[in-house]
């Protein structure tokens, strides 16, 4: 009986902590055997994307590459100054806006509205259906952390024959507004990800 109560409580806890609108991502797929040297050879910005959407398995691996937990002590795939972990990675897609929670490997829903139009300043962006947005504090370190994260993504994308481009050409203030960023946080940079045309 005691065991059943514990089990029932655990199930309620899991149900509450992963809200209906949040997404539990699959484990990142670490089976890609492309060498780092090959990824460095192949990395380049893409200006043509196919309409095909990024599935959650691929998204999980990309987010893990960007800023995921790679050790038992919770540290990340990128170094962070004083282990501050002051970077946030948001996913904009057709279903809304999501905040990556690396510890739980979940996407926390921030909005159920499609805001991809905020990034459609260049023609090739019309076929992009997933944009990562890196945010952080106003300090220099957060900007460096964003650079490390987007480069990890660039390399994973190159290793996977996918398409990506880092992008600063969008209205940062509008994006900050839809993200409802807390005081002291700012939008740093974005990165379109998808499949080659
Ligand atoms: C911080 C940053 C911001 C960028 N912003 C844009 C952008 O707004 N639009 C765009 O088409 N490319 C953008 N780029 C991509 C660069 O134009 C591209 O990296 C550069 O031309 C070199 O090409 P490569 O990435 O293929 O080596 C940006 C790159 C960086 C690193």
Residue nearest to ligand 1 atom 7, measured at CA:
167
What is the per-residue pLDDT across 55-95, written as a single tens digit (0 to 9) for each?
999 999 999 999 999 999 999 999 999 998 999 999 999 99
Q: Domain for residue 96, yes or no?
A: yes
Q: Domain for residue 3, yes or no?
A: no
Ligand 1 pocket residue status of 123, Cβ below 6 Å: no
Ligand 1 pocket residue status of 44, Cβ below 6 Å: yes
Ligand 1 pocket residue status of 192, Cβ below 6 Å: no
Ligand 1 pocket residue status of 120, Cβ below 6 Å: no
Domain of residue 134: give its range.
21-195
State residue 68's pLDDT score: 98
State residue 3's pLDDT score: 52
Number of independent structural domains in the chain: 1
State residue 12's pLDDT score: 45
Ligand 1 pocket residue status of 168, Cβ below 6 Å: yes
pTM for the model stands at 0.91
Question: What CA–CA distance (Å, rounded) separates 19 from 22?
Answer: 5
Q: Domain for residue 46, yes or no?
A: yes
Distance 175 CA to ligand 1 centre (A): 19
State residue 103's pLDDT score: 97
State residue 5's pLDDT score: 47
- What is the residue whose two structure tokens read 């990024």? 54
Q: Domain for residue 2, yes or no?
A: no
Cβ partners under 8 Å of residue 75, min gap 6: 69, 83
State residue 13's pLDDT score: 47
Q: Domain for residue 13, yes or no?
A: no
Among candidates 77, 185, 86, which has minimal Cα distance to 138?
Answer: 185
Which CATH number characterizes residue 65's domain? Answer: 3.40.109.10
Ranges of the chain with pLDDT below 50 = 1-2, 5-7, 11-18
């Amino acid at each position: 009986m005691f065991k059943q109560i514990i089990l029932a409580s655990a199930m309620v806890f899991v149900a509450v902590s992963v809200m209906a609108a949040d997404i539990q991502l699959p484990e990142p797929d670490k089976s890609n055997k492309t060498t780092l040297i090959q990824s460095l050879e192949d990395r380049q910005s893409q200006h043509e994307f196919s309409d095909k959407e990024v599935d959650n398995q691929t998204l999980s691996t990309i987010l893990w590459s960007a800023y995921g937990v790679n050790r038992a002590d919770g540290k990340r795939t990128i170094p962070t100054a004083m282990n501050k972990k002051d970077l946030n990675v948001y996913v904009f897609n057709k279903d809304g806006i999501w905040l990556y929670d690396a510890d739980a490997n979940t996407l926390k829903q921030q909005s159920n509205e499609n805001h991809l139009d905020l990034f459609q300043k260049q023609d090739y962006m019309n076929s992009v259906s997933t944009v990562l947005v890196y945010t952080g504090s106003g300090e220099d370190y957060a900007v460096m952390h964003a650079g490390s994260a987007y480069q990890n993504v660039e390399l994973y994308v190159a290793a996977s024959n996918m398409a990506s481009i880092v992008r600063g050409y969008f209205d940062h203030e509008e994006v900050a507004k839809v993200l409802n960023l807390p005081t002291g946080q700012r939008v740093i940079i974005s990165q379109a990800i998808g499949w080659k045309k």
